[in-house]
Amino acid sequence: MQVASKTNNIVVKYIIDYRKLIKSSIQVAVAFYLVLTSWFFLVSWASTYLAEELGFREVDLALLALLTFFLGSLTSIASGLISDRIVGLRGVKVLLIPSIAITSASLLLLSQGYLPTISFLASISSYRFGAPLPWLAIIRAYPYEVAGKIGGIAGIAIQASALTLPTILGFIKEITGSLKPGLLLISILSALSIPLYASLKSKSKV
């Protein structure tokens, strides 16, 4: 397929290789699905895990919710301000990959009940900091003629993660009687998105 664009009044035809487009879309979709697993645990089963398995009281959860909102808001704003200053894909990776790593490590500690309040807040803060960056990675990695198409597939992956992850965790809890194995799984799945984002190349020809 040819997509025409104008550069200095000169029409340039961009030829899309659909085989590469499908491959790139799958890579990005899987990366989005994996990285979102941590978030959908945090907004679905996290309070149940903290209350039932770590002994958090209602007042503890209420205070934690306030801290979560405060820290999450600060890190989201900071990420937005910094993201606007990032020019290339390399800069996106420098911020995105450590944020995923910190989120995964924090969830791993949380699964073992180690420093639960700090681990939970660290996972939320690091995730919120990195939240805009996967979208920015698409813009930096692919020409604008195909970035929207790949972003659309990524949106489907987000919905798939939202629908399947809480259900999977529910099954794990039903079978094992605990959310700890599910939380350990989330930590691993989130970390698996790192090589997928690390392998993105700037303005890949599709």
Q: Write out the H or E segment, with its range, that includes residue 4.
A: strand 2-7
Flag whether pLDDT at 11 surpasses 60.
no
Question: Which pLDDT score, from 0 to 100, does residue 80 have?
Answer: 76
Grouping H, G, I as helix, E, B as strand and the rest as coil, residue 43 is coil
Q: Are 158 and 148 in contact (CB under 8 A)?
A: no
d(CA 3, CA 12): 8
Out of 20-29, 76-85, 98-107, 128-137, least confident range? 76-85
Question: Which pLDDT score, from 0 to 100, does residue 105 have?
Answer: 95
Q: The tokens of 81 are what?
A: 């301000």
pLDDT, averaged across the chain: 85
**Model pLDDT for residues 140-178, shown as the tens digit of each residue:** 888 878 888 888 999 999 999 999 999 999 999 999 999
d(CA 30, CA 95): 20
Q: What is the pTM of this model?
A: 0.82
**Helix 58-83 vs helix 133-141: crossing angle, to nearest 10:** 30
**Model pLDDT for residues 90-106, shown as the tens digit of each residue:** 888 888 999 999 999 99
Q: Are 101 and 194 in contact (CB under 8 A)?
A: yes
Amino acid at position 174, single letter: E
